[in-house]
Amino acid sequence: MSYRIVVDRNKCQGIGACLGTAPDVFELDSEGKAVIINPDGSDDDTILAAAEACPLEAITIYDEQGERIFP
Ligand code: SF4
């Protein structure tokens, strides 16, 4: 995978939409915040879809050049 995934823990409310889309990439930690368990757990399209699924836009995706792709 070529994307870099960043979860904003201040924005994340543990809604879990990202896990529903990419359960091999994201998990909720003991504080109920999404963490990345495996950045290679899904293909890029699925990871992007997981970021788009977050209603709080807590997930930011960067490409391999460091350009922000989402949001
Ligand atoms: S969908 Fe967004 S708010 Fe919900 S757990 Fe994932 S990052 Fe957090």
CATH number, position 41: 3.30.70.20
Q: Which helix (H) or strand (E) holds 68?
A: strand 68-70
Residue 42 lies in a domain: yes
Tell me the residue range of the domain where 58 lies.
4-64
The mean pLDDT value for 16-37 works out to 97
Q: Give yes or no for a contact between 61 and 69, defined as CB atoms under 8 angstroms apart.
A: yes
pLDDT at 1 over 60: no
What's the Cα-to-Cα distance from 42 to each of 2, 10, 14, 23, rounded to whole Å? 11, 24, 20, 9
Question: What is the value of pTM for the model shown?
Answer: 0.94
DSSP letters of 2-62?
Answer: --EEEE-TTT-----HHHHH-TTTEEE-TTS-EEES-TTSS-HHHHHHHHHH-TT--EEEE
Q: Per-residue pLDDT tens for 29-63?
A: 999 999 999 999 999 999 999 999 999 999 999 99
Q: Whose Cα sits closest to atom 3 in ligand 1?
A: 12
The mean pLDDT value for 2-12 works out to 96
Residue 58 lies in a domain: yes
28 CA: nearest ligand 1 atom: 5
**Ligand 1, pocket-test mutation among 5, 6, 7, most atoms within 8 A of CB:** 7
| Average pLDDT over all residues of the chain | 96
Q: Is the CB of 34 under 6 A from ligand 1?
A: yes
Q: Is the CB of 59 under 6 A from ligand 1?
A: yes
